Amino acid sequence: GIGGTGLNADVFSKRLPDDCVEYLILVLDEKIKSEFELRESLKKIQNAVKELEKKYLKDYIWQREAFSLSLERAQPGQNGISKPADTPPSPLSYTLHGTTNFGDSIADEWVIVYLLRELSLQFPTAWIRLTDTDGEFLLIEAANALPKWLNPEIADNRVWLNDGKLKIIPLPADSPSPSSNLTLTSAISHLSTPSPTLLIDPSIQTEAFFRVRHHPSAITTNIHHALLRIPRRLAFIVHALPSACSPAIEAFYLRDPIALKPLATKDTGTLLFPPEDFVTVSVRFNRAGYAQLKSQEFAPPPSWTGVIPHLGREEVRMGMKLTCGMEMLVRDEAEKDRRVVREVKLLLEDVEGGEALPVDEEIKAWKDVERQDDEGWLDIKFGDLEKELDGKGKEGKGRFGDQEAQENLRRMVGRFEEFMKDEKAGMDGVDLSDGESTGSSEVDSDGEDKDGSFDEEEFEKAMREMMGLPQEEKEKNGLVEEARKLALEMEDEEEMQRDDDEEARKIMEMMERELKGKGALDIGDLKKRAESGEQRSLMKGKAPERIEELDELSSDDDMEENEVDVELLRNVLESFKGQAGLTGPASSMLASMGIQLPRDESN
């Protein structure tokens, strides 16, 4: 790999871990004649990144990992990178590469997209690749505007960010339907040619960068300030190292009994952040992290029993959670080599070494020390959500979520309505031909076909009403052909179910007639005989007398109809056994006669 890091000519071929975004920056400049010039060009880009971070991310809190670009060098002779001494260096000789785990904060990923887009505007010779766990996520965003030929199977290494635009390498004219992805080296060869053919569609740009349309002003909306009552020692830490809040929240959010063990003591002298000497300060959070901290139910550990009377106050409850999270983070042996943990420990060593903690007067002078942001973005009222989906949301107070959430909702619903109105639209990758079997039985006669016909106009009308489409739109913006076919399939399945029920009913009637023919169901006649003295003598007489009377009954012509048909009984039992414990004609028929057969557990 490049520089021993595993980066090679197919750097994006391996699957990324969950919640990660990966980025690669190449410089394609015909003026560069040596590796030294290439390296210096990339260092200028690195310095520009630092300036962008100072400008836009000075007070930003990443939820898990920060944006980072490292200069990486290819090993000579690998992936065809080596070149003769008198030729320009390969663009892969030196690259800028990085991976960021953004956790649950999708906003962090889009901050990175914005930074790289700004970077590409400053350096037109820089070509940037972005991908995340889902693959070409910028193409996913722009799916509504992409050409049909551009699908995930051939999208790798075709999508590049350059000069502030998303540029796509099209299919070659001699190969309109390639079966594999473009390799990174092939993509670089194409981009290195004079005036390369590229797809640069304004509609794709709009869709792909829709989520950064309000940046950089929107970056600050991902930060939340809240007043917390915490120990003075922790206040000193979060003021000097605001980025430590996110890993502390993660430690709290992912806690287990082992992590809670240091807090299980009543001896507060063993704690790094004992619950004492409290101060109220405003703490800066990433929104996703703050939501995680607030949503967790947490019973006070033994070391915090003294604050139980004050837990009714939100600032005390949230302060306890953050303090316990920081304690768990710093005390975790598995995290001892983590950079943020080392930095926190260094600050604690300074305090232990005699450095005075800030007094109340100093704390009051801190920036935004009393700031408390509105938490309305946390509330999702389903009534407001329904109004937004219906397009009836009102401006001002009472609106669901923030402005970006509202716009994303309207965008989603708008796309769906366009799909419903477009008869040419269909499910991508699904081709339902007229001759294809739908899995349902064919109609045998014209009469049956007429009875099972599908009223398209009535179905379209019902779907329009359900989707909120205007009643006057009745021209040709109904359901797509796939919806009609789906409805017909459902109707065929219902017809098959009715046929099965009718067949079961006929079988039951046939068996009932056969049983009646043998007298098994002649309940009235049996009742008369049971009331007769003949039957009473059978029930009460002595054994020899019963045997004699049974012989007489068996020879009597009137009793011939009551002889048991063994074959019939066998068929009934076999039918019952064939149901395998489920309901069926045999059990239903016997149940109607009040007969409950036991489950057959033997063969």
For residues 338 and 400, membership in a common domain is answered with: no
Considering the domain architecture, whether residues 69 and 97 belong to the same structural domain is answered as yes
More confident residue, 588 or 118: 118
From 212, 230, 248, the end of a domain falls on 212
How would residue 595 be classed by pLDDT, with cut points 50, 70 and 90? Answer: low
Query: Does 535 reside within a domain?
Result: no
On whether residue 374 sits in a domain, the answer given is no
Q: For residue 456, what pLDDT band results from cuts at 50, 70 and 90?
A: low
pLDDT at 126: 95
Inter-CA distances, 450 with 453, 459, 494, 583, Å: 5, 17, 15, 33
3-state helix vs strand vs coil in the chain, percent to 5: 50, 10, 40
Closest CA to 66 of 96, 24, 25, 111: 111
How is residue 454 written in tokens? 């599908």
Residues 337 and 398 in one domain: no
Q: What pLDDT score does 176 carry?
A: 59
Instruction: Specify the pLDDT at position 80.
Output: 46
pLDDT at residue 13 in the model: 47
Mean confidence (pLDDT) of the chain: 76
Tokens of residue 166, six digits = 């998303």
Domain edge (last residue) among 188, 212, 236: 212
The pTM is what? 0.64
Helical segments of 95-136, H only: 106-122
Q: Are residues 83 and 179 in the same domain?
A: yes
pLDDT over 80 at 19, yes or no: yes
What is residue 380's predicted lDDT score, i.e. its pLDDT?
A: 72
Residues 353 and 389 in one domain: no
* Alpha helices (runs of H) in 57-171, residue ranges in sequence order: 106-122, 137-141
pLDDT tens digits for range 537-569: 434 444 444 444 445 544 454 444 444 455 666
Q: Is the model's pLDDT at 12 over the cut of 70?
A: no
With respect to residue 113, please indicate whether it lies within any of the assigned structural domains: yes
Q: What percent of the chain has pLDDT over 90?
A: 43
pLDDT value of residue 547:
45
Query: 138 with 283, same domain?
Result: no
Q: Is residue 531 part of a domain?
A: no
pLDDT band at 520; cut points 50, 70, 90: low
Domain-located, residue 491: no
pLDDT of residue 411: 62
Section 113-118 average pLDDT: 97
- Are both 55 and 127 inside the same structural domain? yes
Answer with the one of 195, 212, 229 that is the final residue of a domain: 212
Q: What is the pLDDT of residues 261-303, one digit of tens each?
A: 999 988 888 999 999 999 999 999 999 999 999 998 999 999 9
Does 44 share its domain with 145? yes
Domain assignment present for 317: yes
Q: Supply the pLDDT for residue 575.
A: 75
Return the structure tokens found at 48. 């520009």
pLDDT tens string 351-407: 888 788 999 999 999 999 999 999 988 887 666 666 655 555 554 444 445 566 556
Task: Name which of 326-335, 429-438, 554-563 the model is least confident about.
Answer: 429-438
Same domain, 390 and 276: no
Cα–Cα distance measured from residue 591 to residue 593, given in angstroms and rounded to the nearest whole number: 5
User: What are the structure tokens assigned to 78, written together?
Assistant: 């690998």
**Residue 90, pLDDT score:** 86
Residue written as tokens 């106009």? 457
Collapsing DSSP states into helix, strand and coil, what is residue 346? helix
143-185: per-residue pLDDT in tens?
889 998 888 888 889 999 999 999 999 988 776 566 677 889 9
* The total number of structural domains that make up the chain: 4
Domain membership of residue 202 (yes or no) is yes
Q: Are residues 168 and 89 in the same domain?
A: yes
548 occurs within a structural domain: no
Q: Are residues 317 and 400 in the same domain?
A: no
Measure the CA angle with vertex 183, ends 177 and 188; round to 5°: 110
pLDDT(201) > 60: yes
Q: Are residues 225 and 204 part of one domain?
A: no
Of 505 and 494, the structure prediction assigns the larger pLDDT to 505
Domain extent for 394: 382-421
366 token code pair: 């801190």
Q: What is the mean pLDDT of residues 427-447?
A: 41
